[in-house]
Amino acid sequence: MAAHLGMSPSGYSHYEQRIKDKSLPPKIAASIANVVEPLGVPREEVYDLTLGEIRDHSTFNSVLPTRIEADAPAENGQSLVPVYDVSASAGFGALVDYEEQTHSLAFPPDYLKRLTSSPPQNLAIISVKGESMEPTLVDDDIVLVDMSKTHMGFEGLFVLRHNDTLLVKRAGMAAKSGHVMLISDNKAYPPVEAALADLNVIGKVLWYGRKV
């Protein structure tokens, strides 16, 4: 981040360590927003959050998804995304025998549109188990998956089945034609080369939620 902002690492670290100010100066916030917006992070999240503390609770809460029971309708025009009782392994893999919807998460439509142009029926939320995608994803995170994006030419993370195992991995180029590298962000886990014909790509990861 320091390199993206044209700052020294020590100068930038002051903002994360709260040595200078408890809130981000507008110029720094705008620069950070310019960096992370192309990665799918709305500018509002940079402006509304101050170094891990919430500056405006009403604004922040307006974009937090809320739990809705499976048979309950959406309220206030919110978009419902189903949550399934399924875990994608961020480790050595976990077998999945069934997919059962447990509830839904309600997103404000405008917020969801910033994440994807796909309609809610193409989206699903599942949980993540394991440590191979740390620090990007940690055990018990939930991820929003766009099931219309199954081409692994897209950059980013994907949920896929490989050898009957549901995984969340990053896609990379392989030396062999018709193959892809399944990459873990945790460097303790080496990349795995897999044939595209052996993969069933469920979709691309757009968003994650984490317990605090």
Q: Residue 185's domain is classified under what CATH number?
A: 2.10.109.10
Indicate if 50 and 70 belong to the same structural domain.
Answer: no
Indicate if 116 and 173 belong to the same structural domain.
Answer: yes
Rg of the chain's alpha carbons, rounded to an integer?
A: 19
Does the pLDDT of residue 169 top 90, yes or no?
yes
Closest of 132, 149, 150 to residue 141, by C-alpha: 132
Indicate if 76 and 168 belong to the same structural domain.
Answer: yes
Domain that holds residue 92: 66-209
Does the pLDDT of residue 64 top 70, yes or no?
no
Does the pLDDT of residue 90 top 80, yes or no?
no
With 0.85 as the threshold, say if the pTM is over it: no
- Name the domain count of the chain: 2
Does the pLDDT of residue 62 top 70, yes or no?
no
Closest of 135, 141, 155, 40 to residue 88, by C-alpha: 141
Domain boundary among 61, 90, 110: 61
Rounded distance, CA 129 to CA 196, Å? Answer: 23
Mean pLDDT of 12-41: 73
Indicate if 44 and 131 belong to the same structural domain.
Answer: no
**What is the band of 67 on the pLDDT scale with cuts at 50, 70, 90?**
confident
Q: DSSP letter string over 41-59? A: --HHHHHHEETTEES-HHH
